[in-house]
Structure formats: C-alpha cells, structure tokens
Amino acid sequence: MAMESIRLELTEGTSWLSRKIVKHEMNRHASLLETVKKREEQYRDSLGWLDVEEWAGEEWLSKCEKLAAYVKERADVLVVVGIGGSNQAARAVAEAIGEKSSVKLVFSGNNISADDICSVVKQLEDKRVFINVIAKNFETLEPGICFWALRNILREKYGAAYSDHVICTGTIGSHFERLSKDEGYHFLPFPDNIGGRYTALSPVGLFPLAVAGIDIRKMAHGGKKMQERLYRESAEENIALEYAVVRNLLYQKGFRMEMLSFFEPRYYRFAKWWRQLFGESEGKDNKGLYPVYGSFSEDLHSIGQFIQEGTAVIFETFLNVEKTEPSFILRHDGLDDRFVYLDGMDFTDINRAAYEATVAAHSKRLPCMKLTVPAIDEESFGQLFYFYEFTCYLSAKLLGVNPFDQPGVEAYKQYMFQKLGKPQTVDCRKQLEDEGRIA
C-alpha cells in the first residue's frame, strides 16, 4: 500500500547516533514540543503559519482562486516579483510540478542583473502580461526596482489601464498598500504575523500557484494533515522533533553542514527554499549548521568526492520520493555500447539503484537520514512545507537562537545604500525634493 505521509529514517550503519540516545533526547525535549505547539508569546508576530487554517483556510483559498481565475482569463504570463521568502516557495512548487494552466509563471525581482531583467522583458513581448509584486516591507531593493521596470513595460502596453494588470501582495497598513490603493492595483495581504520564509501556505505562496493551475487546496490539505500529525504525535514518536534532535546532536558532535540530497532535479528550487529557511533561521550568534544541497546523480560527479573523503563536517539528508513518474524504458537497439546489461530497465529503476548505492556508500562515511515523501505533488509539498517550518522552529530553539529574525542580512545593505546614495530619512520623497532631484 502506498504511503500517505512523510517518513524519516536514520540509515543503517549510522554509528554516530544510537536510537536509544535519539529517543532519550526526544523525551527530554517533550516540554519544548508542547511550548512550540502552544504559540509562544515572544514570537506571536511570527507564528501565523503554525495553524494552517489561519492563512490557508477557506477564506484565503477562495480569495486566491477568485483573483487567479480573473488573471487566467486575461494573461499569458504572470511575472512573480519577489525575493527570498517572497518568491521561493511558489517557485519551488511551480518548477517541480509545472504549470497546469495556460499561464506561464516567470520569476523576477530576485537579483540586480541587467541581463536578467532584459531577458524577462524579452519574454513579455507579444504576450498578455500580469505581475504579482510580493513584498512584506517593500523596502527591499531587488523587487522594488524590478517592479519599477515592469510597470513601465505595462504602461507602454496598456496605458492607464495598466493598473488592472498589477497584483500587490503587501502588508496591510503599509506604504505599499497605500500606493496600491492610490494606483488602483489589486491587493492581497502579506500576513502581518509571518516572516517571508514561512509564508508558503499563505496568499504569498498560494496565489501565483493558483494562477499556474496548481491545486492549492491540495497543498493546504497536505499542510493541515502534517499539522494534525505533528500536534498528535507524542514527543517520543514526533517526526519533527526527531529530525530537530538528530540535527542538534550531530551539531554538538562537530558536524557543521547539512546536505539535502535528491535524485529528482525537479527538487532544485525546493532545495533553495529549504536552504533559505534553515540558513536564515539558524545561522546567527556564531552558531548553526550551514545548509547545502546536492542534485544527484549530477553532483556525485563533482562534490561526491568531497562528501566521501573530504573534511568530515557534513551529514546528509536524502529527500527520497516513493512514487515517481513518468517512466522511460531502455530497449536494445543492436549496438554493443557496453550498456547492454541495462536492456529493458526503466530510468526510474536505475535512478533508484544509484540512490540506494549512494546511501550505502555515504552512510559508511557520514551520518545519513532518509526523508521519504509519497510523490512529487501538491499534497506532498504542503506536507513538506509545514514539516520543515515546524522542524526549523524546533531546531532553532534547541540551538538557542531566534528562528524568525535575520539581522545579519542588513550588513551588506548599509554599504550598498551608501554607495547608491539612498537618503537616510524615512521620507525619501521630501529629501529628494529638498535636494532638488525631483519636483
């Protein structure tokens, strides 16, 4: 019978941690699990994701679907403008599952490359275009200037009616919302009680996916199912606590990197989402595991050497898919190319053999875990998002850091803003007027 939910296993040969120690630590942290489930007061402004119903319940699902239906009738392309937590979850799902509607999603606003923005603009030629600008603070430079560039393209295409082609996802009461109202843009709320990297199951992640024809109800269902499971499972059997405890024990033993390895390249963008979630949530106060990913089997031919024999700082979590589609069978064509021994085999089976072989080889050298998901589909993504967010919260608590801030990200920005001559005052317009730079 096919599995329905995520499964976590420490691989055979993991001599670094005994089952007994892991269980003991899970029991020892039973009160942490209860604390996290009850919504800590100190993080109340960051825990809007903890109950999936709050931002992915009927109200927001139907609002996203309704606006998505409007866009789907009128667009060939939706440009999703955002960076970090404001675009990675939607991109992860869109690039793994693929668009199911006639609207193509293009992701932008996540870099400052002229080459990249030119390539985005080129993709919009002769197309019916909408843009979804996603920004919690609307102070981040990358999406800010991308929006500026793209709204001018929209003005050229649609004149004054361009505003009907803009959907802003922003914080209620913010400058962005006021601007959106003044210009007559469509508006969706960016949850005021969730930070970017935890917003997968909210209008931030769900609206663009609804436009792409992805079943956001199935995603929300997956998230809710995982929430119920993590609230139901006791400390001794709780899958999120187990993963968090294992990470922490390995960190204490001197491991400094976790590698998320996968044999389906479609997970590439998901791995980037995962990397941000853990990197930004845990990498502070001179602590944390550095999150890296490996897209196998390709990367086995580049970093596989380091993993097997390099500095012993890595442990590995394999993201394994139980049921993959499609299949592709090799048929003998009469040519003796020395691969004939694989005649009649499916790529899927060969990939599975490579996966099992890699787990076996790596387990001899480093601690390995297997996280098995039923399939690459909407429900699995819902489960994965909730699972990782919950685990990350637990894991950061075990490490003794704030899971929801990212103060270190500001450092480079100060140097950049200085170079670019950004006015120090909040009222930029007034300062620019005083300087005579705008009328």
Residue type, 47: L
Which among 125, 301, 309, 410 is annotated as catalytic? 301
Min dist CB 129 to ligand PA5, Å, is 21
The yes or no reply on residue 212 touching ligand PA5 (CB under 6 A) is no
For ligand PA5, the closer of residues 135 and 399 by Cβ is 135
Which among 177, 280, 316, 378 is annotated as catalytic? 280
Structure tokens at 140: 């981040």
Which secondary structure element, helix H or strand E, spans residue 237, and what is its range? none
Min dist CB 221 to ligand PA5, Å, is 24
- Residue 220: CB atoms within 10 Å: 26
Min dist CB 212 to ligand PA5, Å, is 20
Min dist CB 291 to ligand PA5, Å, is 14
For ligand PA5, the closer of residues 197 and 284 by Cβ is 197
In the stretch 140-179, what mask flags binding to ligand PA5 with x, by CB under 6 A? x--x------------------------------------
Min dist CB 395 to ligand PA5, Å, is 16
Alpha-carbon dihedral sign for residues 215, 297, 357, 385: negative
CB 87 within 8 A of CB 114: no
Among 48, 56, 84, 211, binds ligand PA5 (CB under 6 A): 84
Alpha helices in 19-127 (DSSP H): 19-28, 30-37, 52-56, 58-74, 88-97, 114-123
Min dist CB 195 to ligand PA5, Å, is 4
For ligand PA5, the closer of residues 14 and 140 by Cβ is 140
Residue with tokens 């040969």: 13
Using the rule CB under 6 A, give the single segment among 10-18, 134-142, 231-239, 292-300 that binds ligand PA5: 134-142
For ligand PA5, the closer of residues 171 and 297 by Cβ is 171
Residues 363-402 binding ligand PA5 (CB under 6 A) are: none
Phi, psi of 127 (to 5 degrees): -115, 155
Alpha helices in 159-189 (DSSP H): 175-183
The yes or no reply on residue 86 touching ligand PA5 (CB under 6 A) is yes
Radius of gyration of the chain (CA): 23
Structure tokens at 89: 């979850």
Min dist CB 392 to ligand PA5, Å, is 11
What span, in angstroms and rounded, lies between the C-alpha atoms of 231 and 37?
A: 7
What span, in angstroms and rounded, lies between the C-alpha atoms of 316 and 245?
A: 15
Among 83, 89, 94, 245, binds ligand PA5 (CB under 6 A): 83
What span, in angstroms and rounded, lies between the C-alpha atoms of 206 and 58?
A: 12
The yes or no reply on residue 137 touching ligand PA5 (CB under 6 A) is yes
CB 253 within 8 A of CB 366: no
- The interaxial angle of helices 19-28 and 30-37, nearest 10 deg, is 50
- Residue 125: CB atoms within 10 Å: 9
Min dist CB 187 to ligand PA5, Å, is 15
Which among 38, 287, 323, 413 is annotated as catalytic? 413
Residues 186-205 binding ligand PA5 (CB under 6 A) are: 195-197
For ligand PA5, the closer of residues 235 and 277 by Cβ is 277
Beta bridge partners of 8: 371
The yes or no reply on residue 135 touching ligand PA5 (CB under 6 A) is yes
Among 29, 72, 91, 136, binds ligand PA5 (CB under 6 A): 136
Closest CA to 67 of 151, 186, 181, 169: 186
3-state secondary structure of 46: helix
Using the rule CB under 6 A, give the single segment among 84-92, 208-216, 291-299, 359-367 that binds ligand PA5: 84-92
3-state secondary structure of 323: strand
Structure tokens at 349: 């089976």
Is 142 a residue of the active site? no
Is 287 a residue of the active site? no
Is 301 a residue of the active site? yes
CB 133 within 8 A of CB 143: yes
The yes or no reply on residue 291 touching ligand PA5 (CB under 6 A) is no
Which residues carry out catalysis? 280, 301, 413
- The binding site for ligand PA5 (CB under 6 A) comprises 83-86, 135-137, 140, 143, 195-197, 280, 406
